[in-house]
Amino acid sequence: MVLDIRGLREEAAPVAETSLDQLLQGEQAQLHRLVLSTDDLEQLLTIAEDSDDSRRLAAIAILSHHRSWLSSLGMLRRIVRLAHSEHAPRPAAALVQALRQCDEVAQFLTSTERAVARVAAQGVPISRQTLAPITAALAAGLPADIAAVLLDKICRTHPSMVPYAVDCLLKCDPNESLWRTFLAHLPQLPLFSLFVEAGLPQTMAATAQTRGWQQAARIATEVLQEAPSAKLLRHLLSKCGEDAAFARNHARFLQGIAQRADTSLDADLIGHFERLTSGASEDKVARLAPLLVGLSGRLDGQAGQQAAALLENWKSRSASLKLKIYHLEQGIR
């Protein structure tokens, strides 16, 4: 049997189209049905620029929802100019909201209108173009809730941009409190590479800049040791096992990490030690032994038992290794 669907097609109700005029009159619930032409965008911008037009907020709301204007540099600049010149908090915040995830929104982080600054913080992306205004805004002083939004975003800084982010803040001459807060929100691996492993850049000649860098390096070291992530700990263990010079040069830092690391963050931490030392040379085991001894005293339950068993396994390799581990366990250097 063949079903004739021609009649069904004729009876299907057509989808009602929503006009721009209807939306400007307040029917915002139908925004998703609208497709804007270039002429429509021009009309909306013209309305938004007219402070006497009662439809301004509706026009800005439509521009915020349908952002095809982002493909036009001229229209983007018009909205940025309009946001800068707007004095009323509500339309100003709506215009900044329309600029979300655009680098230009960073220009409004220090707005005297708190609602505008908050919307800017929520909408600013983390990029090479925005890190300078973000760090400048933090250094200038922001309300705690707005600063918290920016710091939460700093956590998502790409590792490759960490040196640039630090350089941006260094130019703002921040106080110690801001340094500590800022560095604590940056990814830890590039932070370690920058401040602990690399040391002071040879190109840094200015005295004031050198002092700022040394202050940042001290704070970064403290921050990393106070709350090392599982990812950082695993990286350090691997590097220590591979590189005798690294283990020797950073022995004190590594010991501090072992004493403070939150071992509950890494359920397979002892397994990582086992994999690193499986079939390894005695020298490699000896380099990792201080770290495992430092961690083992803070491990409970099954993890503690695994650590103790692994240490006993290492002791059985040779008399010299057994003596070294014994001295470590007794706190003898």
More confident residue, 107 or 6: 107
Q: What is the pLDDT of residue 91?
A: 93
Q: How large a percentage of the chain has pLDDT more than 90?
A: 37
Six-digit token string for 153: 């975003």
pLDDT digits (tens, 9 = 90+) for 239-257: 888 888 888 888 888 888 8
Residue with tokens 């230009």, as numbered in its chain: 104
C-alpha–C-alpha distance, residues 120 and 125, integer Å: 10
Q: Are 180 and 219 in contact (CB under 8 A)?
A: yes
pLDDT digits (tens, 9 = 90+) for 107-132: 999 999 999 999 999 999 999 999 99
pLDDT digits (tens, 9 = 90+) for 60-91: 988 988 888 899 999 999 999 999 999 999 99
Which residues have CB under 8 Å from 45's CB, separation 6+?
Answer: 59, 63, 69, 75, 78, 79
pLDDT digits (tens, 9 = 90+) for 215-224: 888 999 989 9
C-alpha–C-alpha distance, residues 279 and 186, integer Å: 36
More confident residue, 127 or 4: 127
Q: What is the pLDDT of residue 17?
A: 44
C-alpha–C-alpha distance, residues 301 and 270, integer Å: 12
3-state SS, 225-259, equals HHCCCHHHHHHHHHHHHHCHHHHHHCHHHHHHHHH
Q: Are 126 and 120 in contact (CB under 8 A)?
A: no
Q: If we measure between CA atoms, which residue out of 157, 249, 150 comes closest to residue 167?
A: 157
Q: If we measure between CA atoms, which residue out of 258, 184, 174 comes closest to residue 223?
A: 184
Vertex 122 angle, CA 119 and 127, to 5° = 120
Spell out the domain ranges in the chain: 19-27+54-123, 126-227, 228-333
pTM for this model (two decimals): 0.78
Which residues have CB under 8 Å from 212's CB, separation 6+?
Answer: 170, 173
